[in-house]
Chain A
Amino acid sequence: MDSPPFLRMSGVRKRYGGVTALDGADFEAHAGTVHAVLGPNGSGKSTLLKVLTGVVGPDAGQVRLDGAPLRPRGPRDTLAAGISSVYQELSLVEDFTVLDNLVLGVEPSRFGLRDRRAALARSLPWLERFAPAFGGRVPVRERVSDLDPGERQVVEVCKALVRDPRVLVLDEATASLRRGQVEVLFEVVDELRARGVLVLFITHRLAEIYAVCDRATVMRNGTDVATVTVAGTPEAELLELMSGRPSAGTSGSRRTAPVAETDTAPTAPARTDPGADPAAPPRLEVRDLTGDRLHGVSLHVRAGEVLGLGGLQGQGQSELMAALFGAGRRTGGTVLLDGAPVRPRSPKQAVRAGFCYVPGNRGVQGLALGRPILENLALPSVGRRALLGVGLSRRREVAAARAVAERVNTRYGSLDDPVSTLSGGNQQKIVVGKWFPTEPAVVLMDDPAKGIDVGAKAEMFDVVAELAASGAAVLVGSSDDRELVEVCDRVLVMFEGRVVDEVSGDRLTEDTLIASAMHVTGADVAAAHEGHPTRLPDPEPRHAEEGGA
């Protein structure tokens, strides 16, 4: 590491309106290394990389690559400089084949026509290298729209590699990958390192950093705090650098707040009464439910109980909620609400029956972002307050919305402001709060705390507790075991469309959940990958941090 750094960013500043995203950040990295960039939400790491890739122009500061100053004005310039980025939001054209996507923008041509053979020659080696990540096939001619999210992410990686980069930016590139796919990616990253490529690696999973990175730069509050050698730095120290406070070690108990969560607010103190009366009849009972990815799910939730759905991601948790809410396919089985069978065929009927649904992907499924807070809060219940089902009184609507906003503790300027002006956490509270006036009997939450900061997360779960306390049966799906441990009374572990384990009481810890999910899959994983060494203690694709600064 005595050679001059291959990439040097110095004194980079960037303000968005009144918010300082980068406050004089410095960053150095050497060729032939894998360099992690770490930091909590809003620490500026996304902005730093956006400056590097030319998506954002810095207010001040310098970037030098291989000694030469770099002032990119867009993706074309960074590409010319040898920087390739794997984007979090996919940059693929769905209608195109994999091959066409790989060479998009850099199509080789002969006599003015695209040269398919040359394109294939450039792309095929990478696709073949990643074949295990595509389940053994080489999907040259398949359309991207026919691939699953993990495979698309792999195509995205190949696309960056086809550009033969000197610097490869992997921004949360592993977020939607399956375990086997991550392994192939890390093998390739090792090869790239050996060939002298600088790989910048952004992830939330510490385990991955230890698995593949040489050095790590920790960012906090828009500036770089420290750059360390990964091998010589224990996990506790990295966490300490990120949070800026001494760490107390990891713990899995529901009542003890885990370390990363101690950032701002205390976590969910509301749940003093753990669960409801075990003798009470179930509020919601599901028997042998089948449908998309559901192969006979049975469960029951009592009034006031918070039931978690854990396990690896994509084992039918989302499909279960969708099926219950009338938004997904349901081919068989019985659903009983307070003992009476219900079979909603649309969300509208489900809402009428007493269900409500809180998605994690709020921009797409939870909110009409351009509309006022008032309308978003009113949407599910607006018909109930209307005169003859039609006429609205503004005063009544405002009063109802105010009451909800207060209950979920949302801070807003005016109810007439678009809901997009709120912070992510407050937006998510609107997504939950809009259901209060419907007085739901069953609350379905699919990854409700996705991409919101720890403080807002804690408040979110206060709201969940309040809903449960009001007598609702709450079903929470989450890819974050820590969340489940904190908020649930019981957790069901799902695998391939079935419930395979139930964890509750003192057994309910993060370790048990991971073990349970792993235990189920251990044999299958081994069979699928023919004894590939398991390198990562965390088998599960965690959701990505949304947005960043």
Chain B
Amino acid sequence: MTTTLTARRLTRDPVVISGVVTLLLWVVASLYSPAFATWGHIVTTLTVASFLGVIAIGQTLVIIAGGEGIDLSVGSAATLSAIVASRFMDGSDDGFLFAVLVALGSACVIGVVNGIGVLLFRVPPLVMTLGMIAVVAGFIRLYTGGRPEGSAAPLLNQLVTGDTVFGVPGVLWLWLALSVVVIWLLRRTSFGWRLYAVGANRTTAHLSGVNPSAVRFSAYVLSSLFAGVGGLLLLGYSQNVYTNLGADYMLNSVAAVVIGGTALIGGVGGYLGTIVGAVLLTVLSALLRTMQIGGGEWGTHRARSSSAWS
């Protein structure tokens, strides 16, 4: 009785469903091209997924917080953080920590502005964060003159790509650590419980003594912060930056979150699902690229700047 119940619950769990789909995709890919089944390829796939996974952390928080919450500016925050960090690092380990702090701080500014726009000016989050893309792109252009300079500190590069055991790069351990922190944040902190409550029913949360605006504001700032972390990881991975480094993560982070069972209405879901969603999307795009179809939005950095509106 209880086992069938558990089984039924499992088959309805979006995380489980997405996990199964991911495995199926991987099996199909391995059949199509045996290279997929190699350890090296699996590690590469997970590495590619890790950047999306980290950037989607904040997206998960913002979407759980509800109120039509969504953060399309995560890609911009990632790019900005990478560009700022690369300029401050400029290929050397001196002042590493300072560079990281400045980079993350600049990313947080985006979150603060988003929060103000959404909560104070009542701009719909989709529009506010969309508008921020243009602002950040413009700022990057102003800041870099269109040609970003500098490069990653060797230390950062080492942290991200450095081989640990069995060819597992450091970035995967970082992702694991961040995942543990985020899952703890959502499940075992008062902030996490309030976040879900605000997302599920803002009025109830308000009337239970929670300040919904503070919670949602934190979500937007955290979103930019984690996107900034993702940007740093991307910088460490590619060593150099370009002005649309993070552009592809804008909607893919949303997709990863939603595939992982976090509903756009808010108050439902969690980060475990997002991890599965990020891996699923990565396997899917790798498969499509191998089969040479699609080549749509994800994984192929488009040549054109995605900053202009028209």
Contacts and interface: CB of A to CB of B under 8 A. Distances in A.
Query: A and B: direct contact (Cβ < 8 Å)?
Result: yes
Interface of A: 325, 327, 346-348, 350-352, 357, 359, 364-371, 375-376, 378-380, 382-383, 386, 389-394, 434, 438
A350 B54 CA distance: 38
Given A383-B190, A392-B189, A347 B207 contact: yes
Interface stretch (B191-199, B291-299, B301-309): B191-199
B161 interface: no
Contacts of A379: 193-194, 197, 204-205, 208-210
Contact of B208 (A369, A380, A392, A394): A380
Best-buried of B188, B206, B208 by chain A (most CB within 10 Å):
B208
Nearest to B202: A368
A367 B200 CA distance: 9
A368 B207 contact: no
Contacts of A394: 188
Given A348-B210, A438-B209, 12 more contacts: A347-B206, A351-B209, A364-B204, A365-B207, A368-B204, A376-B197, A379-B194, A379-B205, A379-B209, A390-B190, A391-B188, A392-B189
A311 to B, nearest CB: 23
B14 interface: no
B92 interface: no
Given A371-B196, A371-B197, A389 B207 contact: no
Contacts of A386: 189-190
Best-buried of A375, A379, A383, A386 by chain B (most CB within 10 Å):
A379
Best-buried of B196, B203, B209, B268 by chain A (most CB within 10 Å):
B209
B211 interface: yes
15 contacts: A346-B211, A347-B206, A348-B209, A350-B209, A359-B207, A364-B204, A368-B196, A371-B196, A375-B193, A375-B197, A379-B197, A379-B208, A379-B209, A389-B190, A391-B189
Nearest to B191: A390
Contact of A364 (B189, B194, B197, B201): B201
A107 B209 CA distance: 47
B267 interface: yes
A247 B196 CA distance: 48
Interface in B165-213: 188-191, 193-194, 196-197, 200-201, 203-211
Contacts of A369: 200-201
A235 to B, nearest CB: 39
Contact of A347 (B191, B208, B267): B208
Interface string B254-278: 0000000000000110000000000
B211 A348 contact: yes
Contacts of B200: 368-371
Interface of B: 188-191, 193-194, 196-197, 200-201, 203-211, 267-268
Contacts of B205: 368, 379
Contacts of A391: 188-189
Contacts of A364: 201, 203-204
Given A350-B209, A370-B268, A365 B190 contact: no
B196 A375 contact: yes
A291 B200 CA distance: 30
Contacts of B203: 364-365
B201 A367 contact: yes
Contact of B204 (A325, A348, A351, A367): A367
B184 to A, nearest CB: 8
Contacts of B207: 325, 327, 347, 357, 359, 365-366
Contacts of A348: 209-211
Contact of A382 (B193, B204, B206, B211): B193
Given A348-B210, A370-B268, A365 B194 contact: no
B282 to A, nearest CB: 30
B193 A327 contact: no
Contacts of A389: 190
B201 A368 contact: yes
A390 B193 CA distance: 10
Nearest to A325: B207
B124 to A, nearest CB: 16
A32 to B, nearest CB: 45
A352 B209 contact: yes
Q: Which 8 A-B pairs have the closest CB atoms?
A: A351-B209, A368-B200, A368-B201, A386-B190, A379-B208, A382-B190, A380-B208, A348-B209
Contacts of A325: 207
A365 B190 CA distance: 20
Given A369-B200, A375-B197, A392 B209 contact: no
A393 B206 CA distance: 24
A513 to B, nearest CB: 28
A368 B210 CA distance: 13
Nearest to A358: B207
A450 to B, nearest CB: 15
A352 B210 CA distance: 11
A40 B200 CA distance: 32
A113 to B, nearest CB: 32
A368 B196 CA distance: 9
Contacts of B197: 368, 371, 375-376, 379
A251 to B, nearest CB: 36
B188 A392 contact: yes
A346 B194 CA distance: 16
B283 to A, nearest CB: 30
A376 B201 CA distance: 11
A544 B8 CA distance: 37
A225 to B, nearest CB: 37
A325 B211 CA distance: 14
A287 B164 CA distance: 70
B119 to A, nearest CB: 14
A343 B258 CA distance: 43
Contacts of A380: 208-209
A543 B206 CA distance: 24
A383 B190 CA distance: 6
B189 A434 contact: no
Contacts of B194: 379, 382
A278 to B, nearest CB: 32
A413 to B, nearest CB: 11
